[in-house]
Chain A
Amino acid sequence: MSDAHAHAEHGEVQIDKSLHAHVCSAGTFLKVYVALLILTVLTVGVAQFHFGSANLLIAMAIASVKAGCVMAIFMHLRWDTAINNIAFLGSLLFLGLLFLFTMADFATRGSIDPTMSQHAEPPAQTD
């Protein structure tokens, strides 16, 4: 490629054949779409039963599977470069840190310093 550049005359038009982007088959997209619809029905169905605090975990687990399908296939992350995967999945890592330390704070309030409030208070109503 760089050789071709070096030999090119000023103003000459070069056709670059090096653009590589993965093309996914239409069948795969359709399968993922159907899977997403089935998982949506499952989300609504599961919510009709009460498993206590497990409901939140189940809902988030199904949502994560759906999100994984969208990211890997619809967004082509599966076939994307390592640097793009790191850039985006890195944000999920930092999101995890945000959740972890915030939850750790609220879960242990009052257990170390009893004078600290056990609850997070929303802003007072103004009326």
Chain B
Amino acid sequence: MSHGPIVQTPTPEGFRPHVVAHHFHDANQEFHSVKLGFWLFLATEVMLFGGVFAAYFIFHGQYPETFVKGGEQLSVPMGSLNTVILLTSSWTMAMGVRACQLSQKKQMLGFLWVTLLCAGGFLVVKYFEYTAKIEHGLLPGSFWHPHGHYAEEFANVEWPNLFFSFYWTMTGIHGVHVILGMLAISWLIWQGGKGRFHSGFSAPVDLIGLYWHIVDLIWIFLFPLLYLVP
């Protein structure tokens, strides 16, 4: 029975050592393997949203009035605010990953906390938007039952529920990603506080950072397509 040596990544003062998993040759191979795997996962995320985007472009091309009328019901200030919130969180996440790479634990935790708060802020804004749409009956598919003047607004457009089917599906899937991202970032703050992530072992912060940037990336396209329907 032969075992390889226990390979550790360099651990700065005050951090926990990371032991390289036994099936990897060295820390570098471990890091690049896990990163390639994560990029492939992100590619599947692109395809997941890509299908809905393709459907959006087709139906938008066929029923432009429905989409313009639907988009007018959304609040541009709310959407813009959420765009700024997500861009800010993406920046603080990038800074958090940088702090981790430099073994600056306090800064890393600070940036992760701001990212988490921004994610929470995004969901609060979304909550206000969602409740207003539910109140007005601007719901997807067969749940569509616009009240009062909303019924009149949509009286003369074809397939009036079409835009809001896309709105709820797209922002819904995106919102689930935001919630999962918040759970992941919370885990980073918890484990990071114990000193698990540093210059010698930054992969978890790096990868969850990439995931968070994808969430931002999707919103960059959702915002103009839903709130500023061209």
Binding site for B on A (CB under 8 A): 1-2, 5, 8-21, 23-24, 26, 29-30, 32-33, 36-37, 40, 43-44, 47, 53, 55-56, 58-60, 62-63, 66-67, 70-71, 73-75, 80-81, 83-84, 87-88, 90-92, 94-95, 98-99, 102-103, 106, 119-120, 122-123, 125-127
Contacts and interface: CB of A to CB of B under 8 A. Distances in A.
Contacts of B42: 88, 91
A88 B43 contact: yes
Contacts of A40: 80, 83-84, 87, 223
Contacts of A71: 213, 217
A44 B76 contact: yes
Contacts of B228: 43-44, 47, 59
A24 B98 contact: yes
Interface in B157-198: 159, 161-162, 165
A88 B43 CA distance: 5
A70 B46 CA distance: 14
Contacts, number: 183
Given A74-B216, A91-B44, 9 more contacts: A1-B25, A18-B28, A20-B28, A21-B101, A37-B84, A44-B80, A55-B230, A81-B32, A120-B58
A19 B201 CA distance: 9
A98 B60 CA distance: 16
12 contacts: A21-B202, A23-B98, A40-B223, A44-B228, A62-B224, A67-B220, A70-B217, A74-B90, A84-B39, A88-B43, A106-B58, A126-B142
A120 B5 CA distance: 62
Given A43-B224, A126-B142, A98 B3 contact: no
A117 to B, nearest CB: 10
A63 B51 contact: no
Nearest to A46: B228
